[in-house]
Amino acid sequence: MRVWDTENLIYDGLRALPWLRYLSAMWILCGEIRSLFEDRLTSSEQVLISSTMDVVREVVTTGEVRAATGLAAAELVTEWQQLISERQNEVLPGQWNAWITFELLTAELAGTADRYEATERLTLAATERWREPYPGKARMIDKNEEIDDSSPMARTLATFGRVVTHINQAGQLPRDPATVRAQVILEPPWISRTKRLFSGPDPSLSRRLMAGLARRSRSM
């Protein structure tokens, strides 16, 4: 799997979704991010993540950002910013990128960040988790980086791609992202569907994204 290309396919796929579908995808993907860092999260981080997931889920299920939800999101932005400011020098890049992803997602709901802004650090949170440990905080980006299709990083990226393509091609998407997540997990492996004719909101996007990811994750 070519990491840079796969990350870009996921990034482009998310930003091409209608906003509520995007939020549904982010609810699922942020749950995956939480599971990647489960062993190192403090109780306060767990509470912050759960609260963030709750407000995202509420917006998706109601179809709008209600006043109370927007205020709750704004409070969460402040809490995330405080956490990041106080502890950013204590953690490795993967966890830092996870924090930024959650903070930007709440900022989107609060109206203080542009929509889709949380996509900027999402895949970095996942990929950097599997690059640990390496010396220092900085790492040069290698656009030619390739990983084995059976590696944990490749499996994580393939899961992300499966979520994005499912949500893009689904005709009538359930309002509750938890239901969508169950569908993604229970359906047959997504690579077996790469030859289907998609009828979702953007069929060409589904074809491009799934074909590209299929080339890079044949073992999934």
Kindly report the pTM of this predicted structure. Answer: 0.83
Q: Rounded distance, CA 105 to CA 77, Å? A: 9
- Within a domain: residue 98? yes
- Within a domain: residue 20? yes
163 pLDDT exceeds 90? Answer: yes
Mean pLDDT (the chain, rounded): 86
- Within a domain: residue 137? no
pLDDT: which is higher, 217 or 33 = 33
pLDDT: which is higher, 207 or 158 = 158
Cis-peptide, bond into residue 133, ω within 30° of zero: yes
What residues have CB less than 8 Å from 168, skipping those under 6 apart? 13, 16, 17, 21, 198, 200, 201, 202, 205, 206, 209
- Within a domain: residue 140? no
Which among 181, 178, 126 has a CA at the least distance from the CA of 11?
Answer: 126
Mean pLDDT of 90-119: 96
Predicted confidence at residue 185, as pLDDT, reads: 74
State the residue for tokens 């997540």: 181
Mean pLDDT of 147-154: 92
Domain range spanning residue 113? Answer: 3-132+147-216
Number of structural domains the chain divides into = 1
Mean pLDDT of 205-218: 51
Predicted confidence at residue 146, as pLDDT, reads: 92
Angle of CA points 132, 137, 139, to nearest 5° = 80
Predicted confidence at residue 131, as pLDDT, reads: 86
Containing H/E element for 85?
Answer: helix 67-87
* Residue 2, strand partner residues: 146
